[in-house]
C-alpha cells in the first residue's frame, strides 16, 4: 500500500510545542512568528522535516498557516479545511480563522494594536507574499523581520532532508529533449536581456531536464535548485547521492552538478540581470542577490507556461494513462456495487481501489491520498481516512471517492460520488445540479484570451439557482507524471492566466453540507482548438477534450432536471466510456460497464 491510515494529528502535543515556540520568540524579542505550510520550494506537498505547521498545531491539511502571538495563535484555513482544523487541533490554544475571508494583516492589526516585530523564515516566504503583507500593514507599528526558523530551533527530532534518487524521464513521453527545452528558454532570456533565471520549483527543474525524483510522496520531483543561463547551460544544485551514472549521462556536459551548499555562493557570483519569480522564489534568494549587488528582474519562472502547454507526445501519453486508470476504477466500481450496505468501511474502499490501480502493473504511486468520505465525512472536501476516523458505509450514504495514480505516461485525478443503498431526493437533486455544472464546463467553447475566472461561473450556475455553492475552485492544472496540482492555469475566480491549447485542467464542481453529505464529480480535460461550426462566424475558438472515462452514477440523477442537450452529452459520454474502456476489463466488470452506460 502507498497510502497509510495512521492518524498523524496529535492535538495534545500542540500546547507544549506552542509554549516552547513562544519562549523562543520572547528570547528574540519578537511579538509574533509566522508558520506557513511551505518549504523552500513552495510545494503543496512537503517532506516530513518541513511539516512545521502540522508538527506545531496538529493540522495536516495541504494549505494553511499559523500566526503565533504571545496570547493567541491563529490557524488560518480556507473553506475546504474548516471542519478538519477544528477536529485536529486543540482549539483551547489554537484559534481557527476563516481565510481568506479574514486576511493576516487585519488580524495582526486587531491582535497587536500597539505594534511589535513579527518574525518569519525568509526561505519559506516569497517576495510577493512579504510585499503584500507589508503593504497591508502600512501605517501600523507592526514590522516583519526575517530570521532563523524558530520552529526548527524547538523541534528536537526534526527529520533530515529527503535523499530520494533521481531518474531519467523518457523523451518519447516528454516530446522534447532537455537540450531543446534549455535552448528554447535560453533564447527567451536573451530576448529579455536576462543573463540567467533562478529555478526553485522542483517540477520546473524536473520538466526542464526531463528527470523525475522521489523526495516527496505522491509527486515524482527532486528537491533541488537550478540556474538556467542565457547560454542554455544549467547549474543544478542537488545532493550527488541522488544522481546515478545514468542520470549524469542523460544530463550531459551542459548541466553542471553542484552540492546544495554551493547554491548561495553560486548566486553571489552571477553577473548580469537575473530573473526571479516573485511568486515562487524564496525571499532569501532575492536577499542574497541584493547583498551581492547582483541586479534582479521580477518575471515568471520561464518553465511555468511551457510546462503547462503539453506537447502532442505528452497529451498522447496521458490519454493512455487515463484509459488504464479508468479501467482500474471500473473494476473497482463493479466490485463496489456487489457489496451490500454496511459491509464496507472507508479503509476497505481505499485499499481496494489502490489494489485495482496496482493490478495494472504500471502504478508508480498514487497521485495523492485517496479521499473516501462517506456520509458526513463527504462534506470534508479533502478528507483523509485514518484508523481513528474510519467509518462504515451504511444505507442512505453518499460516498465521495477522489483519487488518482502516478504512471510513467501520466498523472490522473478523478472523482465519482456513489450511492450506498437508497439515498434521499434532496441528495439526488444536489447531485444533478453538480452534474449540470460539470457538463456545462465540458461542453463550453470560448474565444482565445479567456482565463479560468471567465468560465468558473458555468459550473456554479445550477447550484446558485438553488442558493447553493462550494468553497473551492472548480479546477486546477495537472502535470504529466508530475504534480497533480500544477499552475499557472486554474478554473476558479482566481484563475487569471489565459487558457491555451495543451493545458490539462480538472473540472470538479461539488456541493457539501457539513455534518450530512458531500458531492463532487471530476474529470480531467485538455484545452484544444475547437472545430469550426457550420453557420458560425468562423472565429477561432477553444474547447475542452475529456480525458477521463468512467461512468457517472445514473442512480443519483434526477432525470427530470436535465435538459435535452445535457442528456445528449451524458449519453454520448457514457457511450464513449463503454467503447474505450470495455476492451480493457474483466468479463464481470464489462457486464457492469454495459449496465452503467445505458442511455438515460
> Cβ distance 474 to 460 under 8 Å?
yes
pLDDT of 523: 98
Number of C-beta neighbours around residue 531 at 10 A: 8
Closest by CA position to 2, among listed 369, 456, 435, 449: 369
**Residues 6+ positions from 449 with CB-CB distance below 8 Å:** 498
> Cβ distance 484 to 499 under 8 Å?
no
Q: 525: helix, coil or strand?
A: strand
Helix axes 178-191, 202-209, angle to 10 degrees: 120
pLDDT of 223: 96
- Alpha-helix runs per DSSP H in 444-477: 452-464
Provide DSSP, 299-310: ---TTHHHHHS-
Which DSSP state fits 79? T
Which DSSP state fits 555? G
Q: 384: helix, coil or strand?
A: coil
pLDDT, tens digit only, all 600 positions of the chain: 899 998 776 788 889 999 999 999 999 999 999 999 999 998 878 999 999 999 999 988 888 999 999 999 999 998 777 777 888 888 899 999 988 889 999 999 999 999 999 999 999 999 999 999 999 999 999 999 999 999 999 999 999 999 999 999 999 999 999 999 999 999 999 999 999 999 999 999 999 999 999 999 899 999 999 999 999 999 999 999 999 999 999 999 999 999 999 999 999 999 999 999 999 999 999 999 999 999 999 999 999 999 999 999 999 999 999 999 999 999 999 999 999 999 999 999 999 999 999 999 999 999 999 999 999 999 999 899 999 899 999 999 999 999 999 999 999 999 999 999 999 999 999 999 999 999 999 999 999 999 999 999 999 999 999 999 999 999 999 999 999 999 999 999 999 999 999 999 999 999 999 999 999 999 999 999 999 998 988 889 999 999 999 999 999 999 999 999 999 999 999 999 999 999 999 999 999 999 999 999
pLDDT of 13: 87
Ordered domains of the chain (ranges, CATH): 11-154 (3.40.350.10), 167-307 (3.40.350.10), 309-596 (3.90.230.10)
Closest by CA position to 321, among listed 411, 389, 250, 244: 411
The answer, yes or no, to whether the previous bond of 277 is cis (omega within 30 of 0) is: no
Burial, 179: exposed, middle or buried (Cβ in 10 Å; 0-12, 13-18, 19+)?
middle
Which stretches of 129-283 are assigned E, i.e. beta strand?
142-146, 167-168, 196-199, 211-212, 225-229, 234-237, 255-258, 274-276
How are beta strands 196-199 and 517-520 bridged, if at all?
Answer: unpaired
134 vs 128: CA distance, rounded Å: 10
CA atoms within 13 A on the CB side of 526: 22
> Cβ distance 378 to 400 under 8 Å?
yes
Helix axes 564-581, 587-596, angle to 10 degrees: 170
Amino acid at each position: 500500500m502507498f497510502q497509510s491510515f495512521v492518524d498523524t494529528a496529535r492535538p495534545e502535543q500542540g500546547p507544549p510545542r506552542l509554549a516552547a515556540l513562544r519562549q523562543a520568540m520572547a528570547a528574540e524579542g519578537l511579538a509574533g512568528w509566522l508558520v506557513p505550510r511551505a518549504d523552500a520550494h513552495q510545494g503543496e506537498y512537503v517532506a516530513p522535516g518541513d511539516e512545521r505547521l502540522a508538527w506545531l498545531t496538529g493540522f495536516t491539511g495541504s494549505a494553511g498557516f499559523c500566526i503565533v502571538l504571545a496570547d493567541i495563535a491563529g490557524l488560518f484555513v480556507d473553506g475546504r479545511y474548516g471542519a478538519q482544523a477544528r477536529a485536529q487541533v486543540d482549539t483551547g490554544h489554537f484559534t481557527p480563522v476563516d481565510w481568506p475571508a479574514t486576511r493576516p494583516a487585519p488580524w495582526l492589526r486587531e491582535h497587536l494594536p500597539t505594534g511589535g516585530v513579527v518574525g518569519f523564515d525568509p526561505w519559506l516566504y516569497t517576495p510577493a507574499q512579504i510585499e503584500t503583507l507589508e503593504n497591508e500593514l502600512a501605517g501600523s507599528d507592526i514590522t516583519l523581520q526575517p530570521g532563523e526558523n524558530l520552529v526548527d530551533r524547538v523541534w528536537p527530532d526534526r527529520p533530515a532532508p529527503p535523499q530520494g534518487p533521481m531518474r531519467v524521464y523518457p523523451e518519447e513521453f516528454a516530446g522534447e529533449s532537455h537540450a531543446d527545452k534549455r535552448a528554447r528558454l535560453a533564447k527567451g532570456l536573451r530576448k529579455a536581456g536576462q543573463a540567467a533565471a533562478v529555478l526553485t520549483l522542483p517540477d520546473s527543474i524536473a520538466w526542464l531536464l526531463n528527470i523525475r525524483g522521489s523526495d516527496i510522496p505522491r509527486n515524482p520531483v527532486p528537491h533541488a535548485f537550478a540556474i538556467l543561463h542565457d547560454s542554455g547551460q544549467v547549474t543544478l544544485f542537488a545532493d550527488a547521492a541522488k544522481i546515478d551514472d545514468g542520470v549524469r549521462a542523460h544530463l550531459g556536459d551542459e548541466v553542471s552538478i553542484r552540492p546544495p551548499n554551493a547554491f548561495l555562493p553560486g548566486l553571489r557570483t552571477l553577473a548580469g540581470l537575473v530573473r526571479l519569480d516573485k511568486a515562487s522564489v524564496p525571499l532569501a534568494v532575492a536577499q542574497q542577490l541584493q547583498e551581492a549587488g547582483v541586479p534582479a528582474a521580477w518575471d515568471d519562472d520561464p518553465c511555468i507556461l511551457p510546462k503547462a502547454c503539453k506537447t502532442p507526445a505528452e497529451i498522447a501519453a496521458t490519454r493512455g494513462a487515463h484509459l488504464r486508470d479508468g479501467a482500474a476504477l471500473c473494476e473497482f466500481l463493479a466490485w463496489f456495487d456487489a457489496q451490500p450496505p454496511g459491509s464496507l468501511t472507508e479503509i476497505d474502499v481505499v485499499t481496494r481501489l489502490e489494489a485495482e490501480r496496482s493490478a495494472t502493473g504500471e502504478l508508480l504511486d498514487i497521485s495523492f491520498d485517496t479521499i473516501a468520505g462517506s456520509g458526513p465525512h463527504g462534506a470534508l472536501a479533502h478528507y483523509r481516512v485514518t484508523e481513528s476516523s474510519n467509518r462504515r458505509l451504511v444505507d442512505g450514504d453518499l460516498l465521495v471517492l477522489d483519487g488518482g495514480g502516478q504512471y510513467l505516461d501520466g498523472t490522473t485525478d478523478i472523482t465519482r460520488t456513489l450511492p450506498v443503498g437508497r439515498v434521499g431526493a434532496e441528495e439526488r437533486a444536489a447531485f444533478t445540479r453538480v452534474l449540470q455544472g460539470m457538463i456545462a464546463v465540458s461542453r463550453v467553447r470560448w474565444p482565445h484570451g479567456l482565463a479560468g475566472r471567465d468560465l468558473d461561473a458555468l459550473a456554479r450556475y445550477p447550484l446558485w439557482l438553488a442558493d447553493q455553492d462550494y468553497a473551492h475552485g472548480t479546477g486546477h492544472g495537472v502535470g504529466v507524471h508530475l504534480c497533480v496540482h500544477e499552475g499557472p492555469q486554474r478554473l476558479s475566480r482566481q484563475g487569471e492566466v489565459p487558457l491555451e491549447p495543451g493545458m490539462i485542467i480538472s473540472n470538479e464542481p461539488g456541493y457539501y453540507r457539513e455534518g450530512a453529505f458531500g458531492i463532487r464529480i471530476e474529470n480531467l480535460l485538455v484545452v484544444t482548438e475547437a472545430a469550426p461550426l457550420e453557420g458560425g462566424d468562423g472565429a477561432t475558438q477553444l474547447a475542452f477534450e475529456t480525458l477521463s472515462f468512467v461512468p457517472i452514477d445514473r442512480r443519483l440523477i434526477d432525470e427530470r432536471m436535465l435538459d435535452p442537450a445535457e442528456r445528449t452529452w451524458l449519453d454520448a459520454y457514457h457511450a464513449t466510456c463503454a467503447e474505450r474502456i470495455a476492451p480493457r476489463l474483466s468479463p464481470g466488470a464489462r457486464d457492469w460497464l454495459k449496465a452503467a452506460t445505458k442511455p438515460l
